[in-house]
Structures are given as structure tokens and as C-alpha cells.
Structure 1
Amino acid sequence: MKELVFAEMNMGDSASLSKTVTESDILTFAGLTMDFNPVHVNAEYAKESIFGERIAHGMLSAGFISAVLGTVLPGPNAIYLGQELKFIAPVKIGDTVTATATITEKREDKRILKLQTTVTNQRGEVVVDGSAVIKKIGK
């Protein structure tokens, strides 16, 4: 993967990654974070919830934004300074989500980017909306 050069990044540049969320993803995330909320890991409990079934952790979906920022745009040598998130809709097992980051501001002097960040599902519905502030070190 070719590292993007900061000087060549422009307002409106955008990048995305997609992934189908599996039961294994949810259980692995629960184990890594110690978040065993039963709405994520217990089918019987989740059946009685407002969702009617198990859902993915909101932060799992947010993690896909981190993947875009750290690997594609701005890519390697990007350091998170901040992230604002609004969780709009649940992500369920089998949903294919697409995380997208779009540059909305660029500060040349500090090598800082502000990006609009969204995660949508396979129906095009926004499930997570927010913005990130990233500092690009290196190139």
C-alpha cells in the first residue's frame, strides 16, 4: 500500500472500507474489550431487547472508521487527535458496513486534517456519523 503524501491530500478526498460483520467479530471484540453486554453476546436476552436480536458493539463499527484513517486516508503515520461519534442505528450479524472518511478541513502548518466520518449499512442507511481530527506525521 502506497502511503499518501500530506501535500497531495485535498478537501473532498474520500476513502472507504467495507466489511460484513460476523458473530465471530462480535465475540472477539467482546473478549478484547471485556464488553459482554448481553445485547451483544446473548441471543435469548437480545431477543427481548428493543432490537429483537443481537447487535454489534457501537465501538466495533467505529473501529472500522479507525481502519480507514490508519490504512487508507490519510493512511500510515496518521495519529488520532479526536473523534466525535453519533450512533444512529444498530448493526446486526450479517450486515455489510462501509466506513467512509472525507477530508473537510486541512491545516498545512500543523499537518492536521478534519474528516467527516460515516458508517453505512448495505441498505445505505447511516449507522454511525461523526468527525475525526488526525495529525499526519512522516510524509
Structure 2
Amino acid sequence: MKGYTYDELSIGQEASFTKTISETDVYLFAGITGDINPAHLNEEYAKNTFFKGRIAHGMLSAGLISAVLGFHMPGPGTIYLSQTLNFVAPVRIGDTVTAKGTVVEKLPKGRVKIETVCTNQDGVVVTKGEALVMPPK
């Protein structure tokens, strides 16, 4: 498998990845990262929070962006340099999240800015930001 090179990318080019967030995903993410905030893991605790129930880690949805950039576009060989993120709405267990990347600018030194947006199954934006990557040579 080969990723898109700088020259093969064009402004407006898009790619996406979709995943339904399971309870197992949330527990595995908590174990891997050490983020065991009860807002993610304890329904009784989470019922008394702003969200009135458990939510997935914000970085779990952001991780789907990594799948877009590292596997779909630009793809294998891409170096992920930076990412801004805004967590706009909660992701709940059972939500289907689509992460999309859109090329917005080609910069000097082979770098590319990519707008990143995650939406749920209802089209609600849950995470948005901008990535800076170096596509494969």
C-alpha cells in the first residue's frame, strides 16, 4: 500500500473513516491511556454530570482522524506533525463517528494542512480541527 505524495494531493481532496464506538473501545482506551475518569467508565457517576451519562474520551474520536491521515489520505508513510482540536459535542457509546480530512493548503517544504472533522450518525460535529502533515515522498 502506498500513500499519496505531496504532488498527488490537491486542494479539496477528501478521505474519511467511520467507526461505531463500543463500550469495549472506551474501556480499552482508558486502559491504554490511563484516563479512567468516571465520566467515561461509571454510569452512576456519569448520570450526575453535565452530559447525564457516560461519554467516550474526546481523544478517542480524535484518534479516528489519525486513521484517516495514516491510512487513507495522505496514507502510509505520512508524518503527523501537529493537530488542533475542538471537542464540540459528546460522543456516546453506540455512536457511529465519521472522521473526515480535507486538504486545505499545500505549504512549502512538502507540508500539507488538512481540515479535520468528526461527525456522529446524526451529522452533528463532535470534533473539529486542523492537522499539519508531511505526506510520503
Above 0.5 in TM-score? yes
Distance 1:91 1:60 in 2: 9
Write out aligned runs for 1:110-121 (5 A). 110-121=109-120
Q: Is the 1:111–1:137 contact (alpha carbons within 8 Å) kept by the matching residues of 2?
A: no
TM-score, normalised with respect to structure 1: 0.95
SS of equivalent to 1:67: helix
Cα deviation, residue 3, structure 1: 2.6
Distance 2:77 2:3 in 1: 8
Q: Is the 1:117–1:131 contact (alpha carbons within 8 Å) kept by the matching residues of 2?
A: yes
Q: 5+ unaligned residues in a row in structure 1: which ranges?
A: none
**1:79-118 residue CA offsets vs partner (Å, 9 max, x unmatched):** 11110000000000000000000000012x4111000000
Question: Match of 2:38?
Answer: 38
Q: Is the 1:113–1:133 contact (alpha carbons within 8 Å) kept by the matching residues of 2?
A: yes
TM-score, normalised with respect to structure 2: 0.96
SS of equivalent to 1:89: coil
Could you list the runs of 4 or more consecutive aligned residues of structure 1 that deviate by over 4 angstroms after TM superposition?
Answer: none
Cα deviation, residue 5, structure 1: 3.1
Distance 2:5 2:33 in 1: 33
Percent identical pairs in the alignment equals 53
Give the paired residue count: 137
Q: CA RMSD in A?
A: 1.0
Q: 5+ unaligned residues in a row in structure 2: which ranges?
A: none
Cα deviation, residue 8, structure 1: 1.3
